[in-house]
Amino acid sequence: MCYSQFRLIIGFKMDICIGGILNGKKRKDDQNHFRVDSHYSDHGSQYNKEHFHLHGQLHTFWISEEIDFCDAQRRVELILNKRFELA
């Protein structure tokens, strides 16, 4: 495995929730999905861990099943661009 291939494996765990009850909050969890319920209603949100690639690095986010994936991808791009000052 050459260095450039190895570099693609390394990434950042942003662990930011996109959409749902926890929108914008960080959640550290090694699972691939989780569910959170609201104490004030019967409403709950399910999240799946998704990986996004930017500049040779993988970044992990929690995407709510309530949100359209294209909308979630736009939000992730805004967060990453802000973090890396590309906007």
Domains of the chain, by residue range, sit at 3-83
Q: Whole-model pTM?
A: 0.77
pLDDT reported for residue 1: 40
The secondary structure of residue 27, as a DSSP letter, is -
pLDDT reported for residue 60: 92
Q: What stretch of H or E contains 33?
A: strand 33-37
Nearest alpha carbon to residue 59 among 8, 2, 12, 3: 12
In the numeric block, which tokens belong to residue 60? 């992990």
Rounded mean pLDDT for each run of 10 residues along the chain, 87 residues in total: 45 85 90 89 90 84 94 92 71
Alpha helix segments (H runs only) across the chain: 3-9, 69-83
